[in-house]
Amino acid sequence: MSKIAKTVYYMNQFFAGIGGEDKADQPPIAFEGAQGPAKLFAEMLGDKGTVVRTVVCGDNYFAEHQEEAIRDLLAMVKEAEPDIFIAGPAFGSGRHGMACAALSSAVAREMGIPAVTAMHPENPGVDMLKPPAYALPAEISAGTMKEVLTRMCAFALKLHAGEPIGPSREEGYLPRGLRLNRIDPLTSAERAVNLLWAKLEGRPYETEIPLPKHIDVAPPPPVEVSKARLGLVTEAGVVPMGNPDNLESWWATHWYSYSIDGLDGLTNETHCTVHAGFENTFMNEDPDRGVPLDMARELEKEGKIGKLADFYLVTTGMMMTTDNAQRIGREMAAHLKKEGIEAVILTST
């Protein structure tokens, strides 16, 4: 491999020299050859590559017309038949970062060529960067342009040459939410004891499994239960008999809403569970054990709770990945809010 790396380079309206905030509405436009920082990048490529086209879009235009912007920019990129794609660097600029990340991800995925961008590790664009694209870390300020471009150039050429790429902490790119197994020279026993010694002896240490960034969910303010519109939500896999929508028994990726309008309880003739994580006999005997409709109706009649929603929401919580759980939770919450539900009882098994 290692033929000349034909490069297409993306940047926003500011770096392209079109204008500042006043030109953030710039629709996608292509220039032949290198513009703005792509010129310095081209020098760094030397005889290993050329910048054949620079594609540009205003930060606001991209944010407000993301689908069309990506579609139009992708066409401009494809037309130039590049071997590698470079975007940014976006430094601390959020909109530029998101555009660089979204476009790099689309190019890498659809064209199968190396796509490299760079931005500050806290740039909101980082979460939007998807493999097989890469983002390198950068400072907040654009004053470090030359240093970042040097790294981007070296890394892009490495990808272009088909060299194997190691983990992010060895190669210097930002983690992409992708954890892959490999064989370490040391056993986990050796690494664990070495790292504990470092922690005990006051030397620096680094975790091998970083905790998720956003751990805390602030609880919303309490509701007046006797007046609230209340919903029932469960992960117990309780569905109408026959499982009409084929809710999965484990590794679930779906959730469903089922009517309880006019029902005073769920019975072993009307409902059942499909959950693979517990002995189903007891739940099937009385599905109110998973969705406490019978008790909720009593409390509703006694005025102890406000009106019950006329549906309940269900998924199956066995071996559900955390990402799916978070997505399903968000989707359920949006649906509940739309229906005017203020609080839910969430049953787990």
Partner 1 sequence: MPELTINTFPVNKLEFSDKTVYNDGCLSINNVELREMLLKEEGIRDVLINIARPGDSTRIVHVWDVIEPRTKTAGPGVIFPGWLGPPIGYGEGVIHRLSGMAVVTCTEFNSEGDKYTEQGEGIIDMSGPIAEMTPFSKINNLVIEFILDKKMNLDEQNKVVTRAGLKAAKYLADATVGKPAEKSEVRSIDKATPGLPNVVMIMVIAGSSPLLDTYVYGFSCVGIMPTFIHPNEMAEGALVACTGMVASPANTTYDFQNNPLIEKLYQHHGVRHNLAGVIIERGYAYEYNDKERLSAHAANLARFVKADGAIITSDSGGNIMVETMLACRECEKRGIKTALVLVEACGKDGTGLGLVDYVREADLIISVGNADAAINLPKMDTVYGGKNYIGTNLPGNFACDRILMDICGANSMLGTSRVRADDF
Q: List residues binding partner 1 (CB under 8 A).
A: 131, 165, 167-169, 175-193, 195-197, 199-201, 205, 207-212, 215, 278-280, 321-324
**Which stretches of 241-286 are DSSP H helices?**
281-285
The pairing of strands 256-259 and 308-314 is: antiparallel
Beta carbons of 171 and 135 less than 8 angstroms apart: no
Beta carbons of 306 and 227 less than 8 angstroms apart: yes
Between 4 and 198, whose beta carbon lies closer to partner 1?
A: 198
Cα three-residue angle 202-208-214, rounded to 5 degrees: 100
Q: Which two tokens stand for residue 233?
A: 């939500």
Between 78 and 191, whose beta carbon lies closer to partner 1?
A: 191
State how far the Cα of 36 lies from the Cα of 54, in Å rounded to an integer.
9
Write the single-letter amino acid at 127. D
Between 108 and 230, whose beta carbon lies closer to partner 1?
A: 108
State how far the Cα of 218 lies from the Cα of 240, in Å rounded to an integer.
34
Between 213 and 338, whose beta carbon lies closer to partner 1?
A: 213
State how far the Cα of 297 lies from the Cα of 230, in Å rounded to an integer.
11
- In the bound complex, what is the minimum distance in angstroms from residue 215's beta carbon to partner 1? 6
State how far the Cα of 45 lies from the Cα of 60, in Å rounded to an integer.
31
Between 45 and 101, whose beta carbon lies closer to partner 1?
A: 101
Between 271 and 275, whose beta carbon lies closer to partner 1?
A: 275
